[in-house]
Amino acid sequence: MLVMAQLLDGKALAATIRGEIAARVAGRTQAGKRPPGLAAVLVGNDPASQGYVRSKHKACLENGLHSTVHRLPEETTQSQLLDLIEQLNADATVHGILVQLPLPRHIETDAILRAVTPAKDVDCFHPENVGLLTIGFPRFYPCTPHGVVQLLNRYNVPVAGHEVVVVGRSDIVGKPLSIMLMQKPTAHNPAAGDATVTVAHSRTHDLAAVCRRADILIAAVGQAGMITADMVKPGAAVVDVGTNRVGNAWVGDVAPEVATVAGWLSPVPGGVGPMTITMLLYNTVAAAEQIDG
């Protein structure tokens, strides 16, 4: 008999956590405080980025947060973008600032991300916040890694002491997620995983053998279907962070037949994606609590 993996249903879990967030937001506004506010900045016309920003804006409004979207033309200069960020840094109605990546090539991404005041850096991309995360005193958790950890925890996937293999070493997912999963949990750092973590990447020798060690396999590469069933230990939890456009469909980094080997599997769409947006709302509320009390 073929047993299929249990679904790590990010859509359902995101709805639950958004309910918790909406209740916290309502409590704040009823107490006379400003609603937590997110300002998203989108430069250029990339269709995927436009879609992400629309989804983030909609999720804010549905849960009682204030949200503004600043759409700038492709030819915006770095200094114009820096001026907007300065304005948002000083705006008391804005608690979180999100600059959608990728930026056009004529703009230095590092310079822009460093201009966002760390207290409003809800993506956790500023070097100060990456440093705080790395030493175990996070101001914010980065959204996608935090979404992955929440998915594992709320579906009771055992993490502490287990073998995790993270495939991909990006600054947005692989690197911060591997740090979070290997850290010791403390009162300051409750999402830490206490796991044994291996980070694999494009230069890893015998990737399949490394992946087969994993009790928890995280695919965060951006290559459609690259994790195949022969790379998965039977019963392992497989989290698919990939969002790849193939024709008109979104597909993950994990091939569909992995569902017949894995013990748990997050789908694409409906897995990590809705969790990322949820943890962005979570960070925006946390920023409002830190800034306004």
* Chain positions contacting ligand GUN, by CB under 6 A: 98-101, 123, 143-144, 172
Please report, to the nearest 10 degrees, the dihedral formed by the alpha carbons of residues 136, 142, 283, 59 taken in order: -160
Nearer to ligand GUN, 38 or 238 (CB): 38
Around Cβ 69, how many Cβ atoms within 10 Å?
17
Smallest gap from residue 233 Cβ to ligand GUN (A): 29
Nearer to ligand GUN, 99 or 259 (CB): 99
Please report, to the nearest 10 degrees, the dihedral formed by the alpha carbons of residues 170, 172, 177, 183 taken in order: 100
Nearer to ligand GUN, 149 or 232 (CB): 149
78 annotated active-site: no
CA dist., res. 159 & res. 216, Å (int): 8
Active-site hit among 121, 123, 240, 253: 123
CA dist., res. 124 & res. 17, Å (int): 20
100 annotated active-site: yes
Active-site hit among 50, 58, 80, 100: 100
Smallest gap from residue 161 Cβ to ligand GUN (A): 29
Nearer to ligand GUN, 41 or 255 (CB): 41
Structure tokens that stand for 187 in this block: 């009162």
Around Cβ 208, how many Cβ atoms within 10 Å?
12
Helix or strand or coil: residue 105? Answer: coil
Smallest gap from residue 245 Cβ to ligand GUN (A): 13
Smallest gap from residue 238 Cβ to ligand GUN (A): 21
Residue nearest to ligand GUN (CB): 101
Nearer to ligand GUN, 222 or 225 (CB): 222
Smallest gap from residue 105 Cβ to ligand GUN (A): 15
Smallest gap from residue 10 Cβ to ligand GUN (A): 15
Helix or strand or coil: residue 158? Answer: coil
Tell me, what amino acid is at 20?
Answer: E
Nearer to ligand GUN, 46 or 194 (CB): 46
Helices 10-30 and 272-292 meet at what angle, rounded to 10?
20
Q: Is the peptide bond before 102 cis (omega within 30 degrees of 0)?
A: yes
What is the DSSP code string of 22-86? HHHHHHHHHTTPPPPEEEEEEES--HHHHHHHHHHHHHHHHTT-EEEEEEE-TT--HHHHHHHHH
What residues are annotated to the active site?
56, 100, 123
